[in-house]
Structure 1
Amino acid sequence: MSSTLSPKHKRKPSTRRQRAPSHLPPRDAHEAALVAIRSFLKCHTSYDAFPVSFRLIVLDTKLNVKKALQCLLLNGVVSAPLWNSEKSAFAGMLTVLDIIHLIQYYYRTANYDYAAMDVETFRLESLRDIENELGVAQPPLVNEHPSSTLYDAAKKLIQTHARRLPLLDKDSATGHEVIVSVLTQYRLLKFIAINCHKEIHQLHMSLRNLKIGTFVSKDPATKDPHNPYHPIATATLDTPVFDVVHMFSERAISAVPIINEDGVVMNLYETVDVITLVRLGAYQSLDLKISEALNQRSPDFPGVVVCSPSDSLGTFLQLLKMRRVHRLVIVEGEEEERNGGKKGRLLGIITLSDILRYIIGISNMENVKEADEDVKASSSTTPDPSLNKSTSYKQEPPNLPTS
């Protein structure tokens, strides 16, 4: 972006102090930045990542699914902690994926009219039975104390493959559990992006070299003749919505790239798009083509965030400070096009889970102890409260809303 100054106004000389160049080699500077970020996370608790003001939506497990879904949509969130009022205890999380499982169950076992009636009385406490019926993995019943370090919270998110971590405390008077807040991957990574300015600028290695995320397989031994973009699930504008719903449920993913015949990314279909159809009561719309379903998408959809393999991790974290991003779709860029590729063709996907796992430095939880030894006990980086705190926070703020 450029700007033009009037001839009557002369640009004042900059008084901003220039950052001293790093004397470390590029790779060493990158690794040093990662160690500094891990040290920073070890010195700050989940409390530090809390905004000044936020809303927490908690749903009773006795609530029926329809009312729970209405509550989520009215409050602009896509997940909420569940509370067992009989036991006065935390009972897990309600997420969009739970609703996806329920939709798939009804689609397989009953007609739409039955689904529309049953969803009026179906209670949240029965969702686990649906997952058992479908044979899909149940979400981990994990939580953490708000005073735990952000590093420990991040490790638990990685270990359990969870996208959000409920933070629980004890009521000193009754001894009962109290749900304080929910720490999401997005909130944790944004906290890093806001406070670790110097370190982010040093994360300049390209995504191609870092090899994080899921990429289209080039190994003939692992090629899928039915999906040339294996192991990434893809769809076209002519794919029925329910085929994508099946991918969401079976693979426990939240988005599928929509590509054309050349593999160029045209759009992204997300779990929240399915919820939009359910909110309209359009269960039969699951037979629609993706192209038709996209016409009913909320105008608030932020669009698809794409990048090329030559972009850096630091660039992504800087972007995270400015807008809500939950995944990057990696496509062929100008460099690939010069080598005979197709600009915009799907190469891979990087999720927040991939980014967080890389930053923490744990690809296998057996290496947690080893990673801990690399983290120093103190950090010179202190959080900037004015930047971190937002005016209002909705638990797991949405993309559409989003997850």
Structure 2
Amino acid sequence: MSSEPAPLPPPSPPPPPQSPDARPKRKPSTRKRAGSHAPLPQDPHEAALYSIRSFLKAHTAYDAFPVSFRLIVLDTKLNVKKALQCLLLNGVVSAPLWNSERSMFAGMLTVLDIIHLIQYYYHTSSYDYAATDVETFRLESLRGIEKELGVPTPPLLRDHPSSTLYDAARVLMQTHARRLPLLDNDTETGHEVIVSVLTQYRLLKFIAINCHRDILQLYQPLRKLKIGTYVAQARADVAEGQDPYHPIATATLNTPVFDVVHMFSERAISAVPIIDEEGVVVNMYETVDVITLVRLGAYQSLDLKISEALNQRVADFPGVVICSASDSLGTLLQLIKKRRVHRLVVVEGDEEVKNGGKKGRLLGIITLSDVLRYVIGQPTSIGESSQPEPDE
């Protein structure tokens, strides 16, 4: 046998060139790459919430501004009565305050400030003194009234118009505010400039207009989602002497107006359902109703019963907006898109009537704070704690 190695075969000729389309395609890898985002939720309702939150993170407060709007700013040297006239004549319930001496933002004037002022005068002086003093009482002195009453001073909130809507919503929820002033700086003077005010209603309406497909997927009932405040116990379980509507503040047509004013100030709420002897909602008394009396100088009307005070209400009162606990979040947002809504009264409907309930009986209250908190997610999910939000 020969020990010489066998000769190598001749090299095979190179393959003919191929067009890119003719080249064999590479099989896709079956290895999963590490994702940079959390997996998308599979439930349509949860997926819709995820999409809405992504939408808010991709848009700024500027985007939510209407094409045309006016901004009312009140000087802190203005007296209360003129400030009230300005608010009511322009159909608004709040306005930014401006310190002209220091050329800087000084907070917000809201109807709750006036409610505190009324309560202060009611306990410390006469109607005649209040009627005279309110002519000269300046807006800059309102913070002192809060200290006298022992109520918390509202935080001096602000944000920049270029902040994302999601971040702005977080500020609203984490500070329990209902409106957020948007400030910029004048490039020439360096002074603050009040650009606009972002309210909970404006933010939710912006969502309702631009996230129509997502809203249609928000099918789950309001009470199941724990949106709103509901009576703590079933009526059959309420012991004698207990308030069957706790923790919701209520009044009847025979309740004195000032008793309701005290509820406004003590609980930091802006509306109280008026119910009959069976708990059926017959009306709503709001802070704006009291402000109208103050502007007209009708301080004695605070001693009237609610039934009498309602006769002095403005003719354009929009009425009480009601819903049932089984209505969906999507339906509620569609309503916000169509009309100006600040709260909904949840009443017993057909489902409760089948179980022995009373149609129209008070069951709960849903505010815009409740809705916005659910839509953006609880503050605890973003590293913050939260206390119950007062009524809108």
Does the alignment reach a TM-score above 0.5? yes
Q: Which runs of 5+ in 1 are unaligned?
A: 1-25, 372-402
Q: CA deviation at 1:61?
A: 0.6
Could you say if the C-alpha distance between residues 189 and 31 of structure 1 is closer, same or farther in structure 2, counting changes exceeding 3 Å?
same
**1: CA distance between counterparts of 2:384 and 2:296?**
50
Preserved CA contact (<8 Å) 2:174 2:384: no
Preserved CA contact (<8 Å) 1:224 1:230: no
Mapping of residues 328-367 of structure 1, within 5 Å: 328-362=344-378, 365-367=379-381
Matched with 2:141 is 126
Which of 298, 317, 329 is 1:282 aligned to?
Answer: 298
Could you say if the C-alpha distance between residues 27 and 310 of structure 1 is closer, same or farther in structure 2, counting changes exceeding 3 Å?
farther
Q: CA deviation at 1:233?
A: 0.3
Matched with 1:135 is 150
**2: CA distance between counterparts of 1:205 and 1:58?**
41
Q: CA deviation at 1:333?
A: 0.2
**2: CA distance between counterparts of 1:236 and 1:188?**
33
Matched with 2:280 is 264
Q: Deviations over 1:316-341 (max 9, x none)?
A: 10011111111110000011001101
Preserved CA contact (<8 Å) 1:27 1:205: no
Q: Could you say what secondary structure the match of 2:224 adopts?
A: helix
Could you say if the C-alpha distance between residues 135 and 336 of structure 1 is closer, same or farther in structure 2, counting changes exceeding 3 Å?
same
Q: What letter is aligned with 2:370?
A: D
Q: What letter is aligned with 2:64?
A: A
Tell me if 1:233 matches 2:233.
no
Q: Could you say what secondary structure the match of 2:195 adopts?
A: strand
Could you say if the C-alpha distance between residues 129 and 222 of structure 1 is closer, same or farther in structure 2, counting changes exceeding 3 Å?
farther
Could you say if the C-alpha distance between residues 64 and 224 of structure 1 is closer, same or farther in structure 2, counting changes exceeding 3 Å?
farther
Mapping of residues 20-59 of structure 1, within 5 Å: 28-59=43-74
Number of paired residues?
Answer: 345
Q: What letter is aligned with 1:65?
A: V
Matched with 1:320 is 336
Q: CA deviation at 1:111?
A: 0.3
Q: CA deviation at 1:366?
A: 3.7
**2: CA distance between counterparts of 1:370 and 1:324?**
30
Tell me if 1:292 matches 2:308.
yes
Preserved CA contact (<8 Å) 2:238 2:244: no
Which of 222, 227, 232 is 1:217 aligned to?
Answer: 232
**1: CA distance between counterparts of 2:341 and 2:42?**
26
Q: What letter is aligned with 1:100?
A: I
Q: CA deviation at 1:133?
A: 0.3
**1: CA distance between counterparts of 2:293 and 2:149?**
22
Mapping of residues 63-82 of structure 1, within 5 Å: 63-82=78-97
**1: CA distance between counterparts of 2:75 and 2:223?**
45
Q: CA deviation at 1:139?
A: 1.4
Preserved CA contact (<8 Å) 1:223 1:230: no
Q: Deviations over 1:76-108 (max 9, x none)?
A: 211100001111110000000000000000000
TM-score, normalised by the number of residues in structure 2: 0.85
Q: Could you say what secondary structure the match of 1:207 adopts?
A: coil
**2: CA distance between counterparts of 1:262 and 1:138?**
38
Q: Could you say what secondary structure the match of 1:208 adopts?
A: coil
**2: CA distance between counterparts of 1:326 and 1:170?**
31
Which of 174, 199, 210 is 2:214 aligned to?
Answer: 199
**2: CA distance between counterparts of 1:77 and 1:330?**
26
Q: CA deviation at 1:367?
A: 2.4
Preserved CA contact (<8 Å) 1:232 1:348: yes
Q: What letter is aligned with 1:268?
A: M
Q: Could you say what secondary structure the match of 1:245 adopts?
A: helix
**1: CA distance between counterparts of 2:237 and 2:131?**
45
Q: What letter is aligned with 1:298?
A: V
Q: Percent identity?
A: 80
Q: What letter is aligned with 2:257?
A: V
Greater RCO, 1 or 2 (C-alpha within 8 Å, sep 6+):
1
Which of 246, 254, 269 is 2:270 aligned to?
Answer: 254
Which of 303, 313, 332 is 2:319 aligned to?
Answer: 303
**2: CA distance between counterparts of 1:307 and 1:236?**
20
Matched with 1:145 is 160
Q: Could you say what secondary structure the match of 2:223 adopts?
A: helix
Structure 1 or 2, whichever has the larger Rg, is 2
TM-score, normalised by the number of residues in structure 1: 0.83
Matched with 1:397 is none
Preserved CA contact (<8 Å) 2:353 2:359: yes
Could you say if the C-alpha distance between residues 279 and 198 of structure 1 is closer, same or farther in structure 2, counting changes exceeding 3 Å?
same
**1: CA distance between counterparts of 2:52 and 2:289?**
35
**1: CA distance between counterparts of 2:246 and 2:381?**
28
Q: Deviations over 1:338-389 (max 9, x none)?
A: 1101111111000000000000011xx3421599xxxxxxxxxxxxxxxxxx
Q: CA deviation at 1:223?
A: 7.6
**1: CA distance between counterparts of 2:355 and 2:289?**
36
**2: CA distance between counterparts of 1:104 and 1:29?**
48
Q: CA deviation at 1:222?
A: 9.8
Preserved CA contact (<8 Å) 1:217 1:223: no
Could you say if the C-alpha distance between residues 223 and 61 of structure 1 is closer, same or farther in structure 2, counting changes exceeding 3 Å?
farther
Q: Could you say what secondary structure the match of 1:51 adopts?
A: coil
Q: Could you say what secondary structure the match of 2:335 adopts?
A: helix
Q: Which runs of 5+ in 2 are unaligned?
A: 1-40, 386-391
Matched with 1:93 is 108
Could you say if the C-alpha distance between residues 169 and 213 of structure 1 is closer, same or farther in structure 2, counting changes exceeding 3 Å?
same
Q: CA deviation at 1:227?
A: 2.2
**2: CA distance between counterparts of 1:306 and 1:346?**
10
Q: What letter is aligned with 2:228?
A: G
